[in-house]
Structure 1
Amino acid sequence: MSLYYVCLMIRTFIYNNKKRFITHVSILLSIAVLFSLILVISLESVFSFGIFFDYLLQAITTIFLLLAPPIYLNIYWLIPRFIEQKKYFNYAVIVLVLIIVWGYVLGVVEPWMDEHWFNQPKQDSSMQTGVAVMIFILISTTLLYLSYKWYIQLSKIKQVENDQLNLELSSLKNQINPHFFFNTLNNLYALSLEKSDETPSVILKLSEMMRYTIYDCKESKVSVMDEITYLENFITLQKVRHHERGLITFKNEVVNSDMQIAPMILIVFLENAFKHGFDLIDKDAFINLNLKIKKNTLHFYTENNFIEIENGHQIGIGLENVKRRLSLIYPKTHELEVIKSKNVFSVDLKLYVE
């Protein structure tokens, strides 16, 4: 590597990465200060600022002139240019040369600096010590760098997975919401044909439901009390539509709770009970709902009767979507049991909310 490339690398690092440069210099100075304090406390019987500054100057000189160059050369040039490009043989050859050359510098020049610059007692030159220090520096910095790159890559992969998850959840939610709107508008249309006096109240409840779905459900979690209100409005609207044709019971044991859950989960099971059961039965149709919360567990149970059709009782896209949402949002914190027994279809859901 020519001197030109070394100078270019240093210039680029300083001028294009000013904040990083200042940060690294601060870290190196902090290491020098800490190392000097340790030496003064351990080697001197009496603490003196004069002796401390002598040690500090020696530490700064050693770190910046002898230790920092091979460290930054390895991190900012050798590893990106050779290891990341899978030129392992070239890297090994250059590192071997660097160990020998800079090992000599550390083993010979450093004792000379101590003697002539800092008036330290003369020490025998030891290239073996310099080589050992170089091997430690290169191995440790390489492992730290590769660990850092691995962490960054893992973070990017995790971010991509989260983006894909959010995209899929948004897509599933968009598939569910129009389904409710179309059904509810159909209900309102039926009431308008009958010229029912309940049409204004139904319009009001429809407005509340649409506002909740469009605005509140943008959040990843909503109050369980808001979800209950949505269920009650939906049931009221359906009772108006079906009059006395069947029995709908909702046993709500939740009086007041600050629990937060994913929006539009519970309503799918109720809507499924109407679409595949109540709407197809002329008389004696029923839907039973039960909702309760015990500690951190939400328990929601529905059952309804249905008529077997030619292709069998189909679960429907709404229930399939909510199954997928549950697996994404509550991967290990939910239990869902769907049971088809004779002409009764039941769903048993448990959410374990932290």
Structure 2
Amino acid sequence: MIKFLKKYKAFFIGYIVIIPIFYFLDYIDLIILPEESTYEIIIFALIWGFLIALPIHNFNYLKRKQKTVLQVLGLFLLFFITVSIDSIMSLPDNPITFILLMGFWFGFAYVLIPEFIKKYWKLITLIYVPLLLYFIYLRLFSGDLEAYLKIKEEFPFYVFFLPIPIFFLVWLFEQWQWLQNLKAEKAKTEISLLRSQINPHFFFNTLNNLYALTVKNSKQAPEVILKLSDMMRYTIYEGEKETVKILDEIDYLNNYIELHKIRYKKSVEIVFNYSNIDTSLNVAPLLYIILLENAFKHGVETLSENAFIYINLYDDKDFIYFKIENNFDSKEKQESNGIGLQNLKRRLSLLYKEKHELSIDKTKNTYLATLKISKHA
């Protein structure tokens, strides 16, 4: 609570100082406070207290924006000139005062939301210029003061204020749209960052293995170079797309599996079944590789023999399923899944929101991950 009060103390200051200012101006006859309209005084106090608080609250910002400060000071000067003219002339509904006050409020709106005023200035002009001209006609050309006051009782002067809440709602809608776009851009940026963090150590390990193969003059070296090149090309170019053909993802996973087989001297059973998948389907790129990578890292690499990885990729009417099961050495200390699985969960929440499901089932020495993605996401 204290932190909140400190942060917004400017508004409390604004509301505290505005009351004595009001009564001082009333005392020197610059303004007339209605004695029987307490609610009216409260409303004006809230509005002016807020206006006084704004520059105090944004003092550090205003120090950097000298042009804005000068504009605000100029507007307050215009207001006091308007009040002084109204006090000296003592004319009910003085047209000069009316025009200057409209200039003050539109000027203040321009300082606060310049882009909005620039965007809708034609509409604002179209609404308010006819209203202003009609008011001037009634005030100056409809007869004497008594005739005007009689007309005023019947004329709905609230029409001058009616467009304000409408413009305010339009402004709120634009702010909401801006916020939604900002969230979308942030999500795209975050997705791009998460993609860039995918399995870099795999490429480094493969390059080290490739170096060993070239030193030995192994016949496998060209095959490794080709597969690694395909994978890097896919990661860099296809990985930037929103969706790819699932067949391309399958080829990518197969290349990954084949490169790992070259690494291991031990026997590893790897079965990748994708015969029951419609290969024309689209899916976000580089999702399944995280789960496959974890199966090697936390499964195959912990076992000296009898390691296996079983992968099943299939679809039904509504969903695409990716199931991957591997065994591991329960005696080995299991490290956390690290950034890879966290990134996968974050990407899924950004790309598929509520239209996906990732479940992890772990027994004493087996690990089963199931990723279910809606076809209609």
Q: CA shift at 1:312, angstroms?
A: 3.0
One-letter amino acid matched to 1:253: S
Q: Which runs of 5+ in 2 are unaligned?
A: 1-97, 114-130, 144-149
Normalising by structure 2, we get a TM-score of 0.59
For residues 2-45 of structure 1, give each alpha carbon's deviation from its aligned partner in whole angstroms, at most 9, with x where no partner exists.
xxxxxxxxxxxxxxxxxxxxxxxxxxxxxxxxxxxxxxxxxxxx
Equivalent residue number for residue 153 of structure 2: 128
Equivalent residue number for residue 251 of structure 1: 273
Equivalent residue number for residue 95 of structure 1: none
Q: CA shift at 1:254, angstroms?
A: 4.7
Q: CA shift at 1:136, angstroms?
A: 3.0
Question: In the alignment, which of 305, 312, 317 is matched to residue 290 of structure 1?
Answer: 312
1:297–1:79 CA distance, 2 compared to 1 (3 A): farther
Equivalent residue number for residue 146 of structure 2: none
One-letter amino acid matched to 1:188: L
Contact 1:272 1:316 (C-alpha < 8 Å) held by counterparts: no
1:310–1:248 CA distance, 2 compared to 1 (3 A): closer
1:180–1:128 CA distance, 2 compared to 1 (3 A): farther
4+ residue segments displaced more than 4 Å: 82-86, 100-112
For residues 231-251 of structure 1, give each alpha carbon's deviation from its aligned partner in whole angstroms, at most 9, with x where no partner exists.
111112222332561100001
Say whether 1:237 aligns with 2:262. Answer: no
1:104–1:278 CA distance, 2 compared to 1 (3 A): closer
Normalising by structure 1, we get a TM-score of 0.63
Contact 1:305 1:343 (C-alpha < 8 Å) held by counterparts: yes
Q: Which runs of 5+ in 1 are unaligned?
A: 1-69, 87-99, 113-124
Give the Cα separation in 1 of the matches to 2:304 and 2:278.
37
Say whether 1:339 aligns with 2:361. Answer: yes
Q: CA shift at 1:220, angstroms?
A: 2.2
Equivalent residue number for residue 200 of structure 2: 178
Contact 1:253 1:292 (C-alpha < 8 Å) held by counterparts: yes
Say whether 1:314 aligns with 2:336. Answer: yes
1:82–1:308 CA distance, 2 compared to 1 (3 A): same
Contact 1:250 1:289 (C-alpha < 8 Å) held by counterparts: yes
Contact 1:253 1:293 (C-alpha < 8 Å) held by counterparts: no
Equivalent residue number for residue 278 of structure 1: 300
Equivalent residue number for residue 3 of structure 1: none
One-letter amino acid matched to 1:267: I
Give the Cα separation in 1 of the matches to 2:317 and 2:209.
37
1:227–1:300 CA distance, 2 compared to 1 (3 A): same
Q: CA shift at 1:296, angstroms?
A: 3.9
1:254–1:209 CA distance, 2 compared to 1 (3 A): farther
**Percent of aligned positions that are identical:** 37
Equivalence map 1:1-354=2 (5 Å): 78=105, 81=108, 105=136, 126-130=151-155, 132=156, 134-139=157-162, 141-192=163-214, 195-242=217-264, 245-254=267-276, 256-308=278-330, 311-354=333-376
Contact 1:103 1:129 (C-alpha < 8 Å) held by counterparts: no
Q: CA shift at 1:336, angstroms?
A: 0.3
Report the secondary structure of 2:330's partner residue.
Answer: coil
Q: CA shift at 1:194, angstroms?
A: 5.1
Contact 1:305 1:344 (C-alpha < 8 Å) held by counterparts: yes
Give the Cα separation in 2 of the matches to 1:189 and 1:285.
26
1:244–1:308 CA distance, 2 compared to 1 (3 A): closer
Equivalent residue number for residue 5 of structure 2: none
Q: CA shift at 1:348, angstroms?
A: 0.5
Contact 1:220 1:263 (C-alpha < 8 Å) held by counterparts: yes
Report the secondary structure of 1:314's partner residue.
Answer: coil
One-letter amino acid matched to 1:304: N
1:193–1:249 CA distance, 2 compared to 1 (3 A): farther
Give the Cα separation in 1 of the matches to 2:191 and 2:136.
60
Q: CA shift at 1:211, angstroms?
A: 0.8
Q: How many residues align?
A: 256
Deviates more, 1:333-342 or 1:159-168: 159-168
Report the secondary structure of 1:274's partner residue.
Answer: helix
One-letter amino acid matched to 1:229: D
Report the secondary structure of 1:337's partner residue.
Answer: strand
One-letter amino acid matched to 2:309: I
Q: CA shift at 1:199, angstroms?
A: 2.0
Contact 2:359 2:371 (C-alpha < 8 Å) held by counterparts: yes
Q: CA shift at 1:230, angstroms?
A: 0.3
